[in-house]
Structure 1
Amino acid sequence: MAAEGAEMGGSGDVVSEQETPATSEVMTTEVADAPQLVQEAAEEEESTAAAQYPTVLEEGDEEEEGELPADFDRLWRVAHENPLEFSSWTDLLQYCEQESHTTASRRALGTFLIRYPLCYGYWKKFADLEKRAGNTNRAHEVCVRGLKAIPLSVDLWIHYITLLQDTLNMNLPESTQHIRSAFESAVSAAGLDFHSDRLWEMYADWEREQSDLKAVTAIYDRVLRVPTQLYRGHFERFRAHLTAHHPQDILSTEEVGRLRAQLQQSKGGETNPEEPEEEKPPGEETPSDNTSIQDTEEDVQKMQELLLADRQKIYQQNEMEVGKRWAFEEAIKRPYFHVKPLDRAQLKAWHTYLDWEISEAEQQAQEGAVRGAEAQTSSCAGRERVLILFERCLIACALYEEFWTKYVRYLEPQSVEEARNVYRRACEVHLSHKHNMHLQWATFEERHGNITEARRVLKNLEQAMPGLAMVRLRRVGLERRTGRLDQAEELLREAVLQSKETPTLHAFYSIKLARFLLKLSKNSAKARTVLLEAIEISPDNSKLHMNLLELEVAGDPRGNGTGVQQCVSRALEAPLSPHTKLLFSQRGLQFAEDFGATVQSVLTVYDEHQKLLKELGNKKRSAENGDNDDPEKMSKLEESSAVPAPSMATPPAVPPMPMTTPPPPMMGGDMSGSHSAYGYGGWYQQQQYGGYGYQNPWNYNQYYPPS
């Protein structure tokens, strides 16, 4: 995989280094889980370094190097005031580098790498800074911290191992073992990367310098099974390694014995197992390990040919795997991390590559279920390649939620814990400012029964990004679903109290709280109190009046007529638009029509409605005569006001259609607009009542004479 190594030139521009990562040691038998191996390799190297070196200074423990440079404070403030502005950080880092101030550079790099840990080039700068300052132990620890943050960085592993070779006392036997351990951690974590050739060759060259030719052979045996960009070069170097040495010097005793047996078989010298072996005098028995057998030059050449033919088969199989992936690899133009957006072609290239690798692994898994153990090993390797590719992708595309989500969806059916770790990396490191990813994480934890973690995720998100209504409602929903209604109510009341300075948000939360109290707590009195208090703060909010009206309508009609009419009267006195007032008046009249106890009460409501209609009619005529300063607004009002003043003419000869009374929209319906997928874009959209027939010009004169 690759991360951005942002090297700064003299002009301050960021020059990107490229490298790509991968994970997991290639084994000929069983293949382990890639992300787990990556983490284990990084943690193993961290523990090894921690045991050998003192811990690097933590934040706040820097050794002061006099006063900080003049412009440091200014650039530091700019970077912290705009933490998502990458250039403000690079300006700060470049300034510290130009000033050659160790304390300032250490403070700036440490803070920057917490926010952007995938910039492997800055980890290298940090380690070099400590090395130049004579802090070798700190330099080692910085590299280890960097490798824990980005264990798939080939360049960073090479930098760390080079640092070990330059600083360790090679006269000590433990130094050699420590470097070998670092190499093993490196190839386990990043050795399967398509561009990991330098790391493998560095490892083989180092073992050759140690005169451990058998270890060199073992390294080539592993890399010959890895699809890498320079796979052909590895095979050619293995061929040269093979022809330059006697097989007995570069192979294990078991393999040498197998080669000699093959050689004897090819010569036709296979012995009959039924014939007893000729007894020899003491001291002249054939050694069991074949170490003292003298091979002729021809025998050596034959064994080399047999060995090369065996590796040739592995090479050809690997060549096929490389060919399958070559076009996909060529399409990836930026394998390292950068805050600059990727173009669509690059995003599509990653999606296509991932989809292909997943399908390839699934096919291998199906074959493994049929063909047995050998194919099963191949299917495990296929799954590992999928994980490796995801890890590579999530460096180049670390700021894109879609790839993190794709990774989680792949891992979740196989391992909940692995999927959880992906969510943790995404939300706590790379996408801390993307609330959607946090909400997905909380849903994931709740779905798998980890309510405590889901609650923690939502609480932390709200603290990091206060004011998001959807986060508070998710917290309320979580508590409600787990049966903690008192906690859910408390969260809503807290939201109502905290939003008093924002009337629209206060009204929104008040409506949510009132609905909660009415539907779940079955306490209409408390719900009414919440809405009335909200109306005092926002008397011009029609949504509050409408929800209060629905609450009253939803009650027992035999004893709730007074509440409905009071609600209507309150709305008519409020600073609402004429059209909205007309809707409330119509609703009050319909309620009286449907549930009025006496005809006189119905007529009283009817008379009030007639007065309102006349007032609107006068305003309309005034607009038609040009007396209004805003005729366009009045024209819209006339169009939206669908109930004209009743005609005083003679009733039509044809009897009108019987007036039907539709069921009123109950408070159980969502009065706050569309909430699909918690999208609250239409919180305060005006409720339309056209679907209930209130805009039809009912002729009330058919029922009551004009007053």
Structure 2
Amino acid sequence: MAAEGTEELSGNGEMENSAEELGDSEAFVPPNPESQASEEAGSTGMEGVETTAPYMPAVEGEEDDEGELPVDFERLWKAAHDNPQDFTSWTDLLQYCEQEGHMTASRRSLNAFLERYPLCYGYWKKFADMERRAGNNVKAEEVCVRGLKAIPLSVDLWIHYINLLLGTLNMNLPESTQRIRSVFEEAVDAAGMEWHSDRLWDLYAEWEKEQGNLKAMTVVYDRVLKMPTQLYRGHFDKLKTHITSNPPLDILSAEEYQNLRAEYKQSQAQGEGSNPTEEEEERPPGEENPADTDDGKDSEEAVQKMQELLLANREKIFQDNEAEVRKRWTFEDAIKRPYFHVKPLDKAQLKGWHVYLDWEMEESRGAHDGTAEEEEEQGAPKPDGEGVSGHKRVLVLFERCLIACALYEEFWIKYVHYLEQHGVEEARSAFKKACEIHLPYKHTSHIQWATFEERQGNFTEAQRILEALEQTTPGLAVVRLRRVGLERRLGHLDRAESLLTDAVEQSKENPQLHAFYSIKLARLLLKLGKNTARARSVLQEAIELSPDNSKLHLNLLELEVSGDPRTNGAGVQQCISRALEAPLSPRTKILFSQRGLQFAEDFGTTIQSVLTMYEDHQKLLKEIGPKKRGAENGDSDDQEKVSRTDDSSAGAQTAPPTVPPVPPPPMMGDMSGSYGSYSSWYQQPQYGGYGGYQNPWNQYNQYYPPS
């Protein structure tokens, strides 16, 4: 078996001809007992994400120095690194290095590219082939191992690795044979449950046949017979050929052969209506056992009967497996792009993965419940991984999904939620892979990771995650507020205050964001720091920068009103006067006047102060009443709308302005309901409903005569 050659690759690292093969091989009809699905010409590509061994980037400095780099290398290298999410820049760099044939440039580019896009299995193969052509067989093996750590479900990469070993090892040495068998075992353990793993199983069985190990070949076919794969019927047909072409003694282990022979004798005895002991007693002296020949081997009749028994036993397993295949066929047939690509998937594909995952998880729960009942009855647990349903099959499906959908946060979050039911470390590993490799600029997954670590009591790690995220996506308000909230919950009020203070200072160029942070800082100082003077100063400074921001005026008013009314009347009056002089909307000014009048009514020390406020309010109504009505009829500016003043009022915004450093990838799933949205944190009543201010203030006419 020679090693595979180097095929031309498309932009995503998939072989050019595999796209056509994929289109043909995916167009299957549901299986039936009378026909077999046609052989697939090749694997569909990017299969799987490992869950235990993390992806290991290349060691720095491992390239051999070939002197000066190609002329355009630095330009293309810089273009790729300045915008690492631009897939085209990377492919241009790799294509240029390949054309130039410069090993150092190619190694450096491939290492950097595969660290960012480790799921492009075709480029791992190109990398390994490049090293092998250069005579670096050890490095070629190392590249394959790194690739398989990144995508252990890749059937193509496993086959490429095995063919590489077959082409470089001395197969006359016993240790070489043992190593190949060991790699085959690793391959089927990692990718044997993959829907498109048929070629790997066939290669394993044929290799054992070449070694003359027919018993091991039988074991391979028996194992795949229980796996729901695309070409499941072909394996059964090959197993039947294998059984009918060889005597049972040559293809079965000693224990299974003895059991089969006992079963054969028992069936013979039952067919004659007597037990073996009576038959032996009635046999004439010197007559041989019909099951044995002169040389001690099974007779031709015995071999044929035992082969029939073997096939009957396997037929039942095949039928059970076929039932599982039928359950999954519709789901699998709907998957049109099982490999990784930066291009977005359509909604039908995304929905198909969600439905398939939900169904497999439900199957797993049903299988677990059934196994638990069986264990109670029989007192013997079923080995993990036996059969087709269960936790391992759910994991394999999730890992397959996270190849095609690696850039969608929703699937990673769904995966983590499932893993948390089975272990903290498994969930942490998935978070780490999602955030550090595939979604470095997606804040929702990072925030959920930090929340997960905080929930586990790993506060230092939660702080590190949020701090690193803010360095990656500077200016994102939701991240800064999560950092503030974490420090506050840990009792680090000074640290929380410092974070908000820095945010206020850094956002002066953005008045709206500056006002948002100023309100947050003022509330922290007032509610937790009990520093009213400092909170007042923060809001007043923000008002000087944004005098037209009604939220700042309302929060300052709330601060003044919440103080001691016997000593703070002047502060309330000053706040109201400032708002009435500011460039606010008529509706907002009337609201402030109403608040001042109510404060005077509730806490005024003289009747004259109440009457004065009333007269000023009436004048305001006459002056800007028509403007107010016009604004209500035609003003749709959200910035001028009145906001709430209760506990949820202080700067609560459903989506603070953000300044992402780079444009996000084009494919993002629906993140509604995720931690990244503020809409679930705050209720949103309007300030007009505060304290009944929506009612007309003309009711005071019955208490005070017009002046």
Question: What interval of TM-score do these two structures reach, taking the shorter chain for normalisation?
Answer: 0.7 to 0.9
Answer yes or no: is the 8 Å Cα contact 1:479–1:487 preserved in 2.
yes
Name the counterpart of 2:320. Answer: 317
Is the contact made by 2:412 and 2:430 (CA closer than 8 Å) also made in structure 1? yes
Aligned to 1:671: 650
Greater shift in the superposed pair: 436-445 or 604-613 = 604-613
Aligned partners of 1:442 and 1:457 also within 8 Å: yes
1:394-440 per-position Cα deviation (integer Å, ceiling 9, x unaligned): 11111222222222232322323322222222222112221112222
> 1:246-261 to 2 correspondence within 5 Å?
246-261=247-262
After superposition, residues 548-567 of structure 1 pair within 5 angstroms as 548-567=556-575
CA distance in 1, matches of 2:397, 2:14: 30
Q: Give 1:364 shift.
A: 1.9
Task: Tell me the residue number matched to 2:233.
Answer: 232
Would you say the 8 A contact 1:147–1:156 is kept in 2? Answer: yes
Residues 430, 240 of structure 1: alpha-carbon distance in 2 compared, 3 angstrom cutoff: same
3-state DSSP of counterpart to 2:390: helix
The reply on whether 1:293 has 2:321 as its aligned counterpart is no
| Distance across 2 between alignment mates of 1:686 and 1:315 | 63
TM-score (norm 2): 0.80
Provide closer, same or farther for how the CA distance between residues 316 and 679 of structure 1 changes in structure 2, counting only shifts above 3 A: closer
Aligned to 1:472: 480
Aligned pair in 2 of structure 1 residues 705, 361: CA closer, same or farther (>3 Å)?
closer
Distance 1:395 1:249, change over 3 A: same
Q: Please, which runs of 5 or more residues in structure 1 have no aligned partner?
A: 21-34, 47-54, 277-285, 621-632, 642-663
Matched, 1:345 2:353: no
- 1:414-453 alignment to 2 at 5 Å? 414-453=422-461
What is the identity, as a one-letter code, of the residue corresponding to 2:559? L
Residue 693 in 1 paired to residue 687 in 2? no
CA contact (8 A) 1:554 1:667 kept: no
Q: Deviation at 1:243? A: 2.9
Q: Which residue of 2 aligns with 1:282?
A: none
Is the contact between residue 247 and residue 304 of structure 1 (CA under 8 Å) also seen in structure 2?
yes
- Give the Cα separation in 1 of the matches to 2:416 and 2:149: 21
Over alpha carbons, which structure has the higher Rg? 1
Asked whether the equivalents of residues 601 and 610 of structure 2 are also in contact (C-alpha less than 8 Å), the reply is yes
User: Aligned-pair distance for 1:612?
Assistant: 4.5
> Which digits, 9 at most, give the CA deviation of each residue in 1:94-115, with x for residues without a partner?
2222222222222221111111
Worse-matched range after superposition: 373-382 or 446-455: 373-382
**Kindly, what percent of the aligned residue pairs are identical?**
63
- Give the distance between the partners of 1:38 and 1:430, measured in 2 at CA: 13
Shift of 1:510: 1.2
In 1, Cα distance between the equivalents of 2:632 and 2:195?
Answer: 70
Counterparts of 2:97 and 2:478, CA distance in 1: 42
Tell me the CA shift for residue 705 of structure 1: 5.4
Q: Quote the offset at 1:234 in angstroms.
A: 1.5
SS at match of 1:500: coil
Tell me the number of residue pairs that the alignment of Structure 1 and Structure 2 aligns.
Answer: 628
Q: CA deviation at 1:675?
A: 4.2
CA contact (8 A) 2:443 2:676 kept: no
C-alpha displacement of 1:665: 7.0
**8 Å Cα contact 1:542/1:580 also seen in 2:** yes
Partner of 2:336: 333
Equivalent residue for 2:170?
A: 169
- The 1:368–1:447 alpha-carbon spacing in structure 2 relative to 1, beyond 3 Å, is same
CA distance in 1, matches of 2:549, 2:373: 68
Is 1:495 aligned to residue 503 of structure 2? yes
1:648 corresponds to which residue?
Answer: none
> 1:546 maps to which residue?
554
Aligned-CA RMSD value: 3.7
Quickly say closer, same or farther: Cα 1:639–1:253, change in 2 above 3 A: closer
For 1:511-660, list aligned pairs within 5 A.
Answer: 511-606=519-614, 608-609=616-617, 612-613=620-621, 615-616=623-624, 636-637=630-631
Superposed displacement of residue 666, structure 1: 5.4
Task: Call closer, same or farther: CA 1:305–1:638 in 2, change over 3 Å.
Answer: closer
Give CA-to-partner distance per residue, 1:139-190, whole Å, 9 cap, x none.
1111111100000000000011111111123343322222111111100000
* Worse-superposed segment, 329-338 or 91-100: 91-100
SS at match of 1:513: helix
The corresponding residue for 2:154 is 153
TM-superposed CA distance for 1:366, in Å, is 2.3
Q: How many angstroms does 1:246 deviate by?
A: 2.9
Residue matched to 2:64:
63
Could you tell me how far apart the structure 1 residues matched to 2:477 and 2:155 are? 44
In structure 1, distance between residues paired with 2:473 and 2:698: 51
SS at match of 2:340: coil
Write the mapping of 1:18-167 to structure 2, written as runs, cut at 5 A: 39=51, 58-167=59-168
Cα 1:379–1:668 shift into 2, 3 Å: farther
Between the aligned partners of 2:479 and 2:703, the Cα distance in structure 1 is 52
Maintained 8 Å contact 2:48/2:153: no
Match of 1:661 in 2: none
Letter in 2 for 1:230: L
SS at match of 2:170: coil
Structure 2: distance between partners of 1:169 and 1:39: 33
Question: Contact between 1:143 and 1:156, CA under 8 Å: does it hold in 2?
Answer: yes
In the aligned structure 2, how far is the partner of 1:671 from the partner of 1:251? Answer: 77
Is 1:360 the counterpart of 2:339? The answer is no
**1:217 is paired with a residue of what secondary structure?**
helix
When structure 1 is superposed on structure 2, of 372-381 and 65-74 the one drifting more is 372-381
Alpha-carbon contact 1:208-1:216 (below 8 Å) kept: yes
Query: TM-score normalized by structure 1?
Result: 0.80
Q: What is the deviation of 1:584?
A: 2.5
Specify whether residues 253 and 447 from structure 1 end up closer, same or farther in structure 2 by C-alpha distance, changes over 3 A only: same
Q: Which amino acid aligns with 1:693?
A: Y
Give the secondary-structure state (helix, strand or coil) at the position aligned to 1:8: coil
Question: Distance between the aligned counterparts of 1:551 and 1:481, measured in 2?
Answer: 24
Distance 1:490 1:247, change over 3 A: same
Amino acid in the other structure paired with 2:425: E
